[in-house]
Structure 1
C-alpha cells in the first residue's frame, strides 16, 4: 500500500467528528460537509482498488506456486523412470529442473505471505473507513434533525436565515448520502435498514468476543 494512501487513510480516521461539526458551523456548511465526505469516499475507493489488485496478484502467485509444486512432483517420477531405463542424462536434466524449482518456491512463498499481509491490512482499512464514513453520516443526520427542531421552535412561521442554512445542509447531505450509498436518505425503510445494520454489527461483535474467550479458555492466546 502506497505511503501517500496510508497517510490519507490516517487523516480520515484521525479526523474527529467535533472538528467536522465545527466546520459546519462556518459560513459555508455545505462545502465543509461535501469535502469531508468526498475525501472519505475517495480514500475508500482507492483502498478497495488496491485491495483488488493485491488479491489478484496473490491469486496469480498461488497458481504459480501450485504449478511449480506439481511440476516438481512430476519430475520426481520422470527421474525414477529415466534411472530405471538407464538414461542418466535424462535423469540429470530432470534433477536440474527440480533444483531450479526448489530455488523459486521460497521466493514465491515469501511473496504469498507478504501479499496475504497486505490483503489483511487493506481489508482492515476498508472496514475502519466505512465505519468512519457511517459515523460522519449519522452525525450530520443528527445535526440536520436538531437544527430542524430548533428552527421550528424558534420561528414556526416564515422562512428564516437559519431555515435557509438548514435547507442547504439537508440538500447537500441527501445528495452525498445518495452518491455514497445509492439510497435516498429519507426513503421509506431506510431507518429500518440502519437498525438492522446496527443489529448485525452487534451480532458480529458478540461472536468475536465469544470466539476470543473460547480461545483464551483453551490456552490458545
Structure 2
C-alpha cells in the first residue's frame, strides 16, 4: 500500500467522530457525519482498486513462474537428447539458456510471495474500514440524537454539498514494483574496476557453469 493511502486509512481507523464534530463548529453534526462516512467509502474504493491491481500482478507472476518451470524441464530433455546424439554444441546452448531461466525463478517466487502478503494486508484494511464505517454510523446516530435533543429541533437530513470537511481520500498510486529495483545491489562497489575485465571474468564463470551443468547431465546419463 502506498504511504499516502496507508496514512489516510490509519487516520480514518483511529479518528474520533466526536472530535470531528467539535472542530466543525459551523457545520451541523449530521453534515459532518455524512462527510466522514463518505470518506470511508472513498478510501475503501481506493483500497479495493489497489487490491485488484495486486491480484492481477500476482496472477501474472504465477503464470510466468509456471511457464519458466515448464521451460526448464523442456531444456533438460533437450540437453539429454543432444548429448545422446553427440551434439554437445546444442547441449551447451540449451544449458546456457537453462541457467538464465534458473536465475529468474527465485525473483518470480519472491514476487509472488510479496504480492500475496500485500493482498492479505489490503484485505485486512478493507475489513477494518468496513468495521469503522459501521461504528461511525452508530456513533453518528447517537450524536445526531443528542444534538436534536439539545437543540429541540430537527437537524437537516439532506445530503450535504461541499463543506469545510476534508475531501475524499486521494487515489492510491502503484507502490509495489520492488522486484526490479532489487537487482541494483552493490553495483557502486565495482566502479573502479575495468568493465571489460569484469565482463570477461563473468563470461568465463558462465562458461564454467555451463561445463559443470553438461558434466552433471553426462554423469546422470551414465549412472
Bin of the TM-score, shorter chain as denominator length:
0.5 to 0.7
Aligned to 1:38: 38
2:53 aligned with 1:63, yes or no?
no
Q: Give the direction of change, closer, same or farther, for the CA distance of 1:39–1:21 in structure 2 (3 Å limit).
A: same
Alpha-carbon deviation of 1:34?
2.5
Identify unmatched segments of 5+ residues in structure 1.
Answer: 152-160, 174-221
Instruction: State the distance in 2 between where 1:146 and 1:2 align.
Output: 38
Q: Taking structure 1 as the reference length, what is the TM-score of the superposition?
A: 0.65
Alpha-carbon deviation of 1:42?
1.0
Give the conservation status (yes or no) of the 8 Å contact 2:47–2:122: yes
Aligned to 1:164: 154
Give the conservation status (yes or no) of the 8 Å contact 2:30–2:144: no
Instruction: State the distance in 1 between where 2:143 and 2:159 align.
Output: 13
Instruction: State the distance in 2 between where 1:11 and 1:31 align.
Output: 19
- Runs of 4+ aligned structure 1 residues displaced above 6 Å come to none
Instruction: State the distance in 2 between where 1:132 and 1:122 align.
Output: 15
Instruction: State the distance in 1 between where 2:147 and 2:32 align.
Output: 17
Q: Taking structure 2 as the reference length, what is the TM-score of the superposition?
A: 0.64
Q: What is the RMSD of the two structures over their aligned residues, measured on CA atoms?
A: 2.3
Instruction: State the distance in 2 between where 1:23 and 1:17 align.
Output: 10
Q: Give the direction of change, closer, same or farther, for the CA distance of 1:146–1:164 in structure 2 (3 Å limit).
A: closer
Corresponding residue SS for 1:86:
coil
Aligned to 1:106: 106
Alpha-carbon deviation of 1:2?
1.1
Looking at secondary structure, tell me which structure has more helix per residue.
1
Identify unmatched segments of 5+ residues in structure 2.
Answer: 161-223
Alpha-carbon deviation of 1:26?
5.6
**Relative contact order (C-alpha < 8 Å, sep 6+): which is higher?**
2
